[in-house]
A and B are shown apart, each in its own frame.
Chain A
Amino acid sequence: MEGWEDCRGGAAAQGPEARPAPEARVQFRVARFIVEAGVNLGMRSIPIATACTIYRKFFCETNLDAYDPYLIAMSSIYLAGKVKEQRLRIRDIINVSNRYFNPSGEPLELDSRFWELRESIVQCELLILRSMLFQVFQHSHKYLLHYLVSLRNWLNRHSWQRTPVAVTVWALLRDSYHRGLCLSFQAQHITVAVLYLALQVYGVEVPAEVEAEKPWWQVFSDDLTKPIIDNIVSDLIQIYTIDTEIPLRPWPGLPKEKPRMVSCLGTLPPRRHDGWSPEE
């Protein structure tokens, strides 16, 4: 966990004011691709989060130019499905990805090109596994849900019912995987920060917080400090700023051929195409 600080992506290393570096933009886009593909594949939150984390982790260790990020992303999705016991079929992953890049196109034909792509994904999966050293990720989701239950019991039930805290934290947590927060911070810290932000947004106060010996967030995580929370909250908010700055879908002014996820087929390990970073 300690080593994670080193893995902070380019964007996270930038101050909130600075524009994200090109590399961070690519990573952001690919993360969005994973999330969208995950939704289209009917993946649950944790497998999606795992896919994003695997992807991030892989490019922490590897130069972004070495591989096609979208192919790695597809393999990450496939691997995450295996790790988190939501078995996905490669054919579906390819179909959804193809649809993502060609929103109006027909599904790929099941020809040799298709099988090559499929083979590439499988090969990449092995590559990722080797680079990951088979480590397991702790996700915030489980913590978050338990924290929510505890908080709900302490809050007035009407104020809880009126306030969509649960939905908001879930959305914030899912969105947080657009950046490498999960690699930069402890899962518990992210969880608390997400909860903190949601309560702030709706102006919900934890009852008797002032009288308490220990603030609620410290109960959940002993080593958490207020500056850490502020840091994470700031990072979370910045995700939404990047979101508005980077056009994602549809890609305006993008060359016709699109991000060419298929173009990398057959060459293993696939070389990444660096065309795909339109500076607007």
Chain B
Amino acid sequence: MDRDLLRQSLNCHGSSLLSLLRSEQQDNPHFRSLLGSAAEPTRGPPPPQPLQGRKEKRVDNIEIQKFISKKADLLFALSWKSDAPATSEINEDSEDHYAVMPPLEQFMEIPSMDRRELFFRDIERGDIVIGRISSIREFGFFMVLICLGSGIMRDIAHLEITALCPLRDVPSHSNHGDPLSYYQTGDIIRAGIKDIDRYHEKLAVSLYSSSLPPHLSGIKLGVISSEELPLYYRRSVELNSNSLESYENIMQSSLGFVNPGVVEFLLEKLGIDESNPPSLMRGLQSKNFSEDDFASALRKKQSASWALKCVKIGVDYFKVGRHVDAMNEYNKALEIDKQNVEALVARGALYATKGSLNKAIEDFELALENCPNHRNARKYLCQTLVERGGQLEEEEKFLNAESYYKKALTLDETFKDAEDALQKLHKYMQKSLELREKQAEKEEKQKTKKIETSAEKLRKLLKEEKRLKKKRRKSTSSSSSVSSADESVSSSSSSSSSGHKRHKKHKRNRSESSRSSRRHSSSASSSQIDQNRKDECYPVPANTSASFLNHKQEVEKLLGKQDRLQYEKTQIKEKDRCPLSSSSLEIPDDFGGRSEDPRDFYNSCRTQAGSSKTEKPYKSERHFSSRRNSSESFCRNSEDKIYGYRRFEKDIEGRKEHYRRWEPGSVRHSTSPASSDYSWKSVEKYKKYTHSGPRDFSRHEQRYRLNTNQGEYEREDNYGEDIKTEVPEEDALSSKEHSESSVKKNLPQNLLNIFNQIAEFEKEKGNKSKN
């Protein structure tokens, strides 16, 4: 309670208000204690009556007193204050912000005596006064005040108030001479009040701005022009010349009155806070308004639930495989509610499913930013990071991959997959370094050896081929065609149709060329199968070795071996991939659960997370089946080759899967058909395979070496045969070109380049074998 204020009011209204207050506010503990003390002056000496005429003024308006007593707790509360800032008085006369009016006393026609008295009561040190110099003496100059420049705006022009500006308060304007010589009688001077003698009505002013309070210190003191006189004074002069003008007329005709911002300006000037509007109604006290009821909060809430609804619809679409519709819903949700976490997570999941891992990561990260504790966002982000890391690893961007794994680990220290992947990567990076060194040595040796032997063998094989050609023209066994489908045409083959064509053409060759390019074909088998099955799910890599296919039996032998050897390895690898890919399966489930019941959702999330660790086999199976279902819609998306690729592999049996894994070179080949490494410069190729397949562990590597060596010879033979038996070199070329021309239509330019290179190579070969 504001005691002084209450006392002021009581002084005005007297004891009747006091008794009313006592009865009205008796329940208010503040008032009970206060009223005791407030009552004392009334009991003791009569309250001081500073102004005369109080008795007439005291209207016993019982209605008002009742009102005061009822609202006293509000009216006299300490918080019931206007907080007008002291600085609001700067530049009062900033012209047209509001209607600057002549002083009220001028309209009220208050006698000069009272005005003078009130001026000396209210003037304070630091106020700015404006006056005319009336006389200049050696000790300073006198000025007659005409108006005030700050603080109170009063009409003092005719009060004949003089103020002295002593010499020491006049700044000198030049190095020599009397500072007062600068001033003349009649100059208009702006000065700060330095001293007031209220009793003798004497004022001392200063021209140094140090006499002003800090918020006015920017105002220039000294001589001013008549244009610089305050607006209120000029209006006051106008009023004097036409004293019939009413307050309202002046106000209405003032430009400032129609200023659209006048209300805001004056509210600030008077310290009224519109954002927290005052009211004397109990129901309208600002404490009764909760932030939750405000329009912005409601809108936010509404938008959020609307967005969530869209997300829900989107998830439903997602579940039935309508991914475009789902994406539209997610985007709509995000339009409605820009930072809707659920929409972000759902869209991220969709991106991840579609293979746009970077976009997925972006969404998950944004979601986590908005809601750092969102379990799914964190989980998915980790998984996606690891998956993306895996991709990068395959692209041989090991350092990037590493940073992705690490990022996943910083998000979730316990994320096993990231840790495993990181460790594996580190191991692998070490190993590959060693391997590379070894490889360099071996290559040197092999190169020399191969060239000799292969030439001999070629010749031999070509002869045989020639002989058999006639015999076996019609002996296309069904088994071989099946096997060829299985083994396929190698990753780098042209489109599946052309692959087929050539496949048939060279069937005889194939049946005879025993184990040639076995590795190569097997490495590519998976992709080829997919092509056969699914009709071009992703751009077909360029490798015309598709035509040099081999025996089924041989491949199977090898496959069998490798299977046995590598089965375990594959399992492990599979495990690596599983949680990640299974995540994309979980997403829709989670969302369904979430939108229906958020609490359940978290539970299910937790249990699923748990199960994904403990029940890997189950998970992966689930994953596969779902993949098979959904793969159709994905495979058209050429954007994510690798993703689709992997999926297809999983569709076929695991044994195919590990070919890809074991021979990353071929994978790389298939994913980057334009790679110049694969320019088919003869022997180099196989070296590259062994070279770039360093994931194999040493003993396997040994075997590979063997295989490659063999394959090398046979391959060369094969080439030779190819050319010799089938056609003379010219024909071979033309037939090549012919088959290629059909391919050209649907192959990108880079593939064509490779084809050209191949053609050249074969030309060379043909020449060689002739020689």
Within 8 A of A (CB), among B427-449: none
Is the C-beta of A272 less than 8 angstroms from some C-beta in chain B? no
Q: Are A153 and B153 in contact (CB under 8 A)?
A: yes
CB distance from A97 to the nearest CB of B (A): 10
Of A96, A145, A171, A201, the residue contacting B267 (CB under 8 A) is: A145
B279: A residues at CB distance < 8 A: 35, 171, 174-175
Q: Are A39 and B98 in contact (CB under 8 A)?
A: no
Please report the C-alpha to C-alpha distance between residue A157 and residue B293 in the assembled complex, in whole angstroms: 39
B81: A residues at CB distance < 8 A: 164, 167
Which residue of chain A is the closest to B111 with respect to CB atoms? A211
Given the contacts A45-B277, A243-B283, A166 and B298 also touching, CB distance less than 8 Å: no
Q: Are A96 and B80 in contact (CB under 8 A)?
A: no
Q: Are A233 and B82 in contact (CB under 8 A)?
A: no
Looking at B63-71, B172-180, B503-511, the stretch in contact with chain A turns out to be: B63-71
Given the contacts A106-B305, A149-B269, A164-B82, A41 and B101 also touching, CB distance less than 8 Å: no
Q: Are A167 and B80 in contact (CB under 8 A)?
A: yes
Looking at B135-143, B198-206, B245-253, the stretch in contact with chain A turns out to be: B245-253
Q: Are A40 and B294 in contact (CB under 8 A)?
A: yes
Given the contacts A108-B302, A145-B263, A240 and B67 also touching, CB distance less than 8 Å: yes
Given the contacts A42-B295, A141-B263, A210-B53, A243 and B104 also touching, CB distance less than 8 Å: no
A167: B residues at CB distance < 8 A: 80-82, 271-272, 278
Given the contacts A145-B267, A172-B280, A203-B8, A44 and B257 also touching, CB distance less than 8 Å: no
Q: Are B70 and A153 in contact (CB under 8 A)?
A: no
Q: Are B263 and A142 in contact (CB under 8 A)?
A: yes
CB distance from B720 to the nearest CB of A (A): 75
When each residue 212-253 of chain A gets 1 if its CB lies under 8 Å from chain B and 0 otherwise, what string results? 111110011110000000000110010010011000110000
A178: B residues at CB distance < 8 A: 281
Please report the C-alpha to C-alpha distance between residue A174 and residue B284 in the assembled complex, in whole angstroms: 11
Q: What is the size category of the interface that chain B forms with chain A?
A: 35 or more
Please report the C-alpha to C-alpha distance between residue A210 and residue B113 in the assembled complex, in whole angstroms: 13
Please report the C-alpha to C-alpha distance between residue A245 and residue B293 in the assembled complex, in whole angstroms: 25
Q: Are A107 and B260 in contact (CB under 8 A)?
A: no
Which residue of chain A is the closest to B50 with respect to CB atoms? A205
A95: B residues at CB distance < 8 A: 295, 298-299, 302
Q: Are A170 and B101 in contact (CB under 8 A)?
A: no
Please report the C-alpha to C-alpha distance between residue A66 and residue B109 in the assembled complex, in whole angstroms: 53
Q: Are B298 and A92 in contact (CB under 8 A)?
A: yes
Q: Are B248 and A188 in contact (CB under 8 A)?
A: yes
Please report the C-alpha to C-alpha distance between residue A188 and residue B135 in the assembled complex, in whole angstroms: 47
Of A99, A161, A171, the residue contacting B293 (CB under 8 A) is: A99
Which residue of chain A is the closest to B278 with respect to CB atoms? A171
Q: Are A162 and B278 in contact (CB under 8 A)?
A: no
Please report the C-alpha to C-alpha distance between residue A175 and residue B71 in the assembled complex, in whole angstroms: 13
B248: A residues at CB distance < 8 A: 188, 220-222
CB distance from B273 to the nearest CB of A (A): 8
Which residue of chain B is the closest to A172 with respect to CB atoms? B280
When each residue 130-158 of chain A gets 1 if its CB lies under 8 Å from chain B and 0 otherwise, what string results? 00000000000111011011111110110
Given the contacts A141-B263, A216-B104, A175 and B280 also touching, CB distance less than 8 Å: yes
Of B51, B67, B274, the residue contacting A201 (CB under 8 A) is: B67
Which residue of chain B is the closest to A159 with respect to CB atoms? B8
Of A41, A154, A163, the residue contacting B104 (CB under 8 A) is: A154
CB distance from A278 to the nearest CB of B (A): 16
Please report the C-alpha to C-alpha distance between residue A123 and residue B293 in the assembled complex, in whole angstroms: 26
* B interface SS class: helix
Among A162, A188, A201, A211, the one with the most B-chain Cβ atoms within 10 Å of its Cβ is A201
Please report the C-alpha to C-alpha distance between residue A142 and residue B256 in the assembled complex, in whole angstroms: 11
Please report the C-alpha to C-alpha distance between residue A200 and residue B60 in the assembled complex, in whole angstroms: 11
Which residue of chain A is the closest to B153 with respect to CB atoms? A153
Is the C-beta of B11 less than 8 angstroms from some C-beta in chain A? yes
Q: Are A202 and B298 in contact (CB under 8 A)?
A: no
B103: A residues at CB distance < 8 A: 150, 153-154
Which residue of chain A is the closest to B121 with respect to CB atoms? A156
Given the contacts A146-B99, A156-B122, A164-B82, A107 and B302 also touching, CB distance less than 8 Å: yes
Please report the C-alpha to C-alpha distance between residue A45 and residue B51 in the assembled complex, in whole angstroms: 36
When each residue 95-109 of chain B gets 1 if its CB lies under 8 Å from chain A and 0 otherwise, what string results? 000110101110111
A204: B residues at CB distance < 8 A: 8, 12
* A interface SS class: helix
Which residue of chain B is the closest to A158 with respect to CB atoms? B122
Given the contacts A202-B9, A237-B63, A39 and B108 also touching, CB distance less than 8 Å: no
Given the contacts A46-B263, A243-B282, A214 and B108 also touching, CB distance less than 8 Å: yes
Q: Are A148 and B270 in contact (CB under 8 A)?
A: yes
Among B115, B257, B293, B295, the one with the most A-chain Cβ atoms within 10 Å of its Cβ is B295
When each residue 42-77 of chain B gets 1 if its CB lies under 8 Å from chain A and 0 otherwise, what string results? 000000000111001100010110111011000100
Q: Are A200 and B64 in contact (CB under 8 A)?
A: yes
Q: Are B75 and A220 in contact (CB under 8 A)?
A: no
Is the C-beta of A257 less than 8 angstroms from some C-beta in chain B? no
Of B111, B122, B272, B284, the residue contacting A36 (CB under 8 A) is: B284
Is the C-beta of B565 less than 8 angstroms from some C-beta in chain A? no
B67: A residues at CB distance < 8 A: 197, 201, 237, 240
Please report the C-alpha to C-alpha distance between residue A44 and residue B293 in the assembled complex, in whole angstroms: 17
Is the C-beta of A263 less than 8 angstroms from some C-beta in chain B? no
Which residue of chain B is the closest to A98 with respect to CB atoms? B298
Is the C-beta of B87 less than 8 angstroms from some C-beta in chain A? no
Is the C-beta of A109 less than 8 angstroms from some C-beta in chain B? yes
Is the C-beta of B452 less than 8 angstroms from some C-beta in chain A? no
Q: Are B108 and A162 in contact (CB under 8 A)?
A: no
Q: Are A44 and B305 in contact (CB under 8 A)?
A: no
Is the C-beta of A91 less than 8 angstroms from some C-beta in chain B? yes
Which residue of chain B is the closest to A114 with respect to CB atoms? B302
Among B63, B152, B278, the one with the most A-chain Cβ atoms within 10 Å of its Cβ is B278
Within 8 A of B (CB), among A32-74: 32, 35-36, 39-42, 44-46
Which residue of chain A is the closest to B10 with respect to CB atoms? A203
Q: Are A243 and B281 in contact (CB under 8 A)?
A: yes
A222: B residues at CB distance < 8 A: 246, 248
Which residue of chain A is the closest to B292 with respect to CB atoms? A99
Q: Are B122 and A174 in contact (CB under 8 A)?
A: no
A100: B residues at CB distance < 8 A: 293
Q: Are A157 and B306 in contact (CB under 8 A)?
A: no
Is the C-beta of B13 less than 8 angstroms from some C-beta in chain A? yes
Given the contacts A109-B305, A243-B283, A168 and B263 also touching, CB distance less than 8 Å: no
Please report the C-alpha to C-alpha distance between residue A63 and residue B280 in the assembled complex, in whole angstroms: 31
Please report the C-alpha to C-alpha distance between residue A247 and residue B291 in the assembled complex, in whole angstroms: 23
Q: Nearest 5 A-B pairs (CB), nearest first?
A: A203-B12, A213-B109, A145-B266, A107-B302, A171-B278
A-B contact pairs, 26 of them (CB 8 A): A35-B279, A36-B284, A39-B289, A40-B293, A41-B295, A42-B275, A44-B264, A45-B274, A92-B296, A95-B302, A96-B294, A107-B298, A142-B262, A145-B98, A145-B267, A154-B154, A156-B121, A168-B278, A188-B248, A204-B8, A207-B51, A207-B118, A208-B110, A213-B110, A237-B66, A248-B283
Question: Told that A42-B295, A153-B154, A154-B104 touch, could you supply 11 new A-B pairs with CB distance under 8 A?
Answer: A42-B294, A106-B305, A145-B262, A145-B263, A154-B103, A157-B151, A166-B84, A197-B64, A207-B118, A208-B118, A240-B71
